[in-house]
Structure 1
């Protein structure tokens, strides 16, 4: 049977946008956009002006498109085949679960939709019952029915969330045994959180190895799932969920920063800070402040140093890798301020807490990227900032090749800085060659920060366009 394209999807296709392009521009996941297009949920009002602008329609026209997308739900018909809505298997007749999509006139049914919290840009397009406490006895029944279900993808999270929302009327919530060591969240949700934590490590490795292009979609998808879990969570259980959410929000902040979208980076950093405070996760609060210090313009050393010092105060007894990361960031702030001696003292201090992660999965926690060679690369960056490119070149050449293979993005950033050092020391040909290598790494993983560094180098090399390596670099930039 042919699948009908929704009016909203048709409008997107008319302006030549893919789901991935539009979702990225709106800072939502592709699955969220798909739910909009299929009428499962509607975007929140703050998202609509930008959506209308991207689709080249007026706000009233957009409202008509959204109503048309919702039509299958309003008439009680099933959603077309393009919907990303997860529908659980049919339950035994004794089950109290309702269908995934309820007719609009069925007052006793709940609406089985994937609703996300406000920060994820959507709101239910049908009137849903007020959220009830999760009946984990019901979830256990589903778990028994699905012994073969493994939580291997973000989509599997929808199954648990949908069951939690589809309780029958009058079902009593089951209180946890206060003497039990198990979480009040229930066994399946504990498994979901464990899955999310494991996926975070894998996404960190994806970013290190392949760059933000390949990691961001996964991070946003998991943030959608976290938003859904928060909707049905008990107040006393939110802390466990937002603790994981803070990790993902900080990762989204970093990925957007690496893609030179500082506005989105700062928004997600603020979300990470908020969730870290709600969960009373002081190390996460510290890391969010560290991330914010990286987003400050290079011309503001005072603010960089102030934020790093605030991060230090936010938590005592930090793990060694985090201490190393804070120390090297403080060193950069001091270099920006022209304080050579204290900057290098801070790098020496960071070396005392250097990490040994060669797998790029942050198993040792935040700051695991601060290996001894990474820290010496940061010392080279300080020399470059302090106006001594010769010393910077010596350190870059010695330590960049020693960076663990998985840290490809960091290698690209370092090569871009080495190219700057070569140009500053009067070696344009070598600078162009290294910049070309950095450009390849930056483009392959969408590290726009690396590409921006290369463009800056190219700007300094325009007077040397007659040199073959420089000419080739300028051509590659023009083609890209």
Structure 2
């Protein structure tokens, strides 16, 4: 180990020694695990190795501030890639950091209601109904089968329950809600398995049941495409969105078809083709029989394209979209429906983002300031995207310190969700890299690519 000089960073010359097994049984570690605080476990291991935060950061390739935020319990403490690096470096047993968890979060009450007498869920009987528990892929498929063929039957007679499609839509909503709590990696295998299951049912069904299964499968396919976009795989994102569009057309489900055009428009936005953004959003609006919410989503996307093209005519489109959302009738249901969680806040967030495209940074900052205190219903990846955009607006207005603060908040959200969409927005801070804090931020962002 090199000789310390004052507060100089001391980097060990070789691998760190193994820590005594008794450390992992200590009350401090067990309390941290019980509190689901992996950052606290890292802090215990770091101190046991005699390392300062900056020394651990140097060894792991992170900044001292990143280690500090992790140990304090910020979102970076739940980034599996960061935790795996620290787990290997410090010799922490993987299960103490939650690294063996590849489950989909689901409220135990929802699992019990769907499963009835399925053995895999017998252990939930004594669990509070609102507690979020992790369901692994095999158990989730058992839940899916029980929902389709009737609880307790296991699908042996091959006869669909009368409410099979309804139950599949309930599961689709549960998985959509789970996206707010868990990163993309845990959801992708579950979504693909359920899509394949529904597709097999569809191929063997007839009449109206076949048509409804086709539309339901399209909703799973679209979501699978979205998950691909979130990890930066645009080719597969486009392929699965196209599959969803074809199935929606075959099912004659106008909301699915229109929304798939909206999703294709969003993919064109990522590709930087503003004309396709506008054209596909208008194609969505030409679909007749769509709900007010889906039409509002299409209008919002057209407005995004117009703003990106530098046209102030985008703002009236946002006004129309907001009015449609406010006037929409929403039925109470546990089933998934396109746009069930879409609110006027989502319209306003894109309005703020579009004001940045139009170089009206002050108005964008003011609009974000109005929305953010009440955006609890906006999922984490979207909060990360717009926090990064707000950071860009502050940097463009000359307030680099505020941009840095917001940038690190967005970075933590990128780590916890695995969203490459947030990373893409943070990379736009590159022009201000001469500021030391921005340089540190962009260096950490680069590690997420």
Name the TM tier (shorter chain): 0.5 to 0.7
Name the CA shift for 1:202/1:166 in 2 (closer, same or farther; >3 Å): closer
SS in 1 for 2:117: coil
* Cα separation, partners in 2 of 1:227 and 1:373, compared to 1, 3 Å: closer
Distance 1:472 1:357, change over 3 A: farther
Match of 1:427 in 2: 399
Instruction: Indicate if the aligned counterparts of 1:204 and 1:362 stay in contact, CA closer than 8 A.
Output: no
Is the CA contact (8 Å cut-off) linking 1:164 and 1:232 kept in structure 2? Answer: no
Deviations 1:305-340 (A, max 9, x none): 111111111223x22221221111111111122211
Structure-1-length-normalised TM-score: 0.58
Q: Report the CA distance shift for 1:247/1:426 in structure 2 as closer, same or farther (over 3 A).
A: same
Instruction: Tell me the CA shift for residue 464 of structure 1.
Output: 1.0
- Corresponding residue number in structure 2 for 1:203: 175
- Cα 1:406/1:329, change in 2 over 3 Å: closer
> Would you say 1:470 and 2:438 are equivalent positions?
yes
Deviation at 1:157, TM superposition (A): 4.6
The residue that corresponds to 1:240 in the other structure is: 212
Q: How has the CA–CA distance of structure 1 residues 198 and 411 changed in structure 2, closer, same or farther, with 3 Å as cutoff? A: same
Q: How has the CA–CA distance of structure 1 residues 165 and 230 changed in structure 2, closer, same or farther, with 3 Å as cutoff?
A: farther
1:313 aligns to 2:300 (yes or no): no
Is this contact kept in 2: 1:324–1:367, CA < 8 A?
A: no
SS at match of 2:263: helix
What is the distance in 1 between the residues matched to 2:202 and 2:294? 28
Q: Residues 364 and 206 of structure 1: is their aligned pair in 2 closer, same or farther, counting only changes over 3 Å?
A: closer
Q: Which of 126, 135, 148 is residue 117 of structure 2 equivalent to? A: 148
Given that 2:427 and 2:445 are in contact with CA atoms closer than 8 Å, whether structure 1 keeps it comes out as yes
Structure 1 residues 363 and 328: alpha-carbon distance in aligned structure 2, compared to 1, 3 A threshold:
farther
Q: Once the 2 structures are TM-superposed, how far is the Cα of residue 246 of structure 1 from its aligned partner?
A: 0.7
CA deviation map 1:420-475 (0-9, x unaligned): 11122222221121111011112101111112211332x2231112xxx4354245
What is the SS of the residue equivalent to 2:339? coil
Bigger Rg over Cα: 1
Structure 1: tracts of 5 or more residues without a match: 1-145, 168-184
Partners of 1:474 and 1:308 lie apart in 2 by 33
Q: Which residue of 2 aligns with 1:19?
A: none
| More helix as a share of residues | 2
Q: 2:67 maps to what in 1?
A: none
Q: Is the 8 A contact 1:205 1:406 kept in 2?
A: no
- Give the counterpart of 1:259 among 228, 231, 238: 231
* 2-structure distance, mates of 1:205, 1:166: 30
Q: Give the one of 280, 283, 299 matched to 2:255.
A: 283
| Equivalences, count | 308
**Alignment check: 8 A CA contact 2:269 2:305 kept:** no
Seen in structure 2, the aligned counterparts of structure 1 residues 454 and 187 have a Cα distance that, compared at 3 Å, is: same
Distance 1:464 1:363, change over 3 A: farther
C-alpha separation between the residues in 2 aligned to 1:234 and 1:354?
Answer: 36
Flag the 1:420–1:218 CA change in 2: closer, same or farther, 3 A. Answer: same
State the shift of 1:391 in Å.
1.3
Residue 170 of structure 2 contacts residue 334 of structure 2 at CA under 8 Å; is this kept in 1?
no
Does 2:347 align with 1:375?
yes
Q: 2:202 aligns with which of 227, 230, 234?
A: 230
Give per-residue Cα distances to partners, 1:5-63, cap 9 Å, x unaligned. xxxxxxxxxxxxxxxxxxxxxxxxxxxxxxxxxxxxxxxxxxxxxxxxxxxxxxxxxxx
Which residue of structure 2 lines up, in the alignment, with residue 332 of structure 1?
304
- Residue 370 of structure 1: SS of its match in structure 2? coil
| Structure 2 match to 1:353 | 324
Given candidates 218, 234, 241, the residue that maps to 1:269 is 241
For residues 246-281 of structure 1, what are the alpha-carbon distances to aligned partners after superposition, in whole Å with 9 as ceiling and x for unaligned?
111111112211222111111111110111111111
Per the alignment, in what secondary structure is the counterpart of residue 205 of structure 1? helix
Per-residue deviation at 1:300?
A: 2.1
Secondary structure at 2:427 match in 1 = helix
1:306 and 1:344 map into 2 onto residues whose CA distance is 17
CA shift in 2, pair 1:445/1:462, >3 Å? same
1:368–1:400 CA distance, 2 compared to 1 (3 A): farther
- Measured after TM superposition, the shift of residue 346 of structure 1 is 0.8
Measured in 1, the distance between the counterparts of 2:282 and 2:217 equals: 25
Q: Is the 8 A contact 2:203 2:210 kept in 1?
A: no
**Gapped runs of 5+ residues in structure 2?**
1-114, 122-138
